[in-house]
Amino acid sequence: MTPILSPGYATVPPGMLANVVTCLEMRERPKPRPARPMERPMALERMEKPDLAAYRALFRAVGQDWLWLSRLVMPDEELRAILESPDVEVYVLSSLNKQFGLLELDFREKGQCELAFFGLVPEAIGQGAGRFLMDQALRKAWSRPIGRLWVHTCTFDHPSAVGFYQRSGFVPYEFMVEVTPDPRLTGHLPREAAPHVPLADFRA
């Protein structure tokens, strides 16, 4: 069971990061939205049994600025079992043979779908690609017999993330605080990653 925090301040240990997680959900398929013009044509292709190196390269390209780490440090066999599950769908957003985004839908819990990973490389943000990717995510998620689609985002993510999810039809239902080692100090991500998150290296 996740511990419940008491009101007030708590000190975060040196080398650790704390961020607020917002959990959002939708319990019925939203109405289709008008398509938004994009600056470049986009295509969404499924990665069937993804190569781990290729998957992690895209995961890093999309998530490094937001301190995405989980799939970079996960043991190969554990990650392979997830990605090769028939109830996990991984898609690549691309244009002119260049990868611009990642979408991962997890249907392993019966009757539900987690929007496990959703994001764009930095150069694709603000060009309509995010709306295109979300429209595709909603269509694919609700094509299965689910009663709930959920996602979580945090204060390390893009500042527009919560608003974007809400405009897409998601409703916040819970907040959590996550405390993790700073991956820029453990060497898993470069020190210059996520400049919007202060790097407090007390060893310096």
Q: pLDDT per residue over 106-128, tens digit each? A: 999 999 999 999 999 998 888 88
Asked if residue 59 belongs to a domain, the reply is yes
The closest of 109, 148, 127, 151 to 29, measured between CA atoms, is 148
**Overall domain count for the chain:** 1
Q: Find the CATH number of the domain harbouring 59.
A: 3.40.630.30
**Average confidence score pLDDT of the chain:** 92
Is residue 201 situated within a structural domain? no
7 found inside a domain: no
Domain housing 158 = 18-28+41-186
Q: pTM for this structure?
A: 0.92
* Residue 164 confidence (pLDDT): 96
**11-49 confidence digits (pLDDT tens):** 999 999 999 999 999 999 998 877 676 667 889 999 988
Residue 92 belongs to a domain = yes
Q: Which residues contact 101 (CB under 8 A, 6 or more apart)?
A: 62, 92, 93, 119, 120, 121, 124, 129, 130, 133
Tell me the mean pLDDT in the region 159-170: 96
Contact yes or no for 106/144 (Cβ under 8 A): no
The rounded radius of gyration (Å) of the Cα atoms in the chain is 17
Say which residue the tokens 């820029």 belong to.
184
Q: How many CB atoms lie within 10 A of CB 191?
A: 12
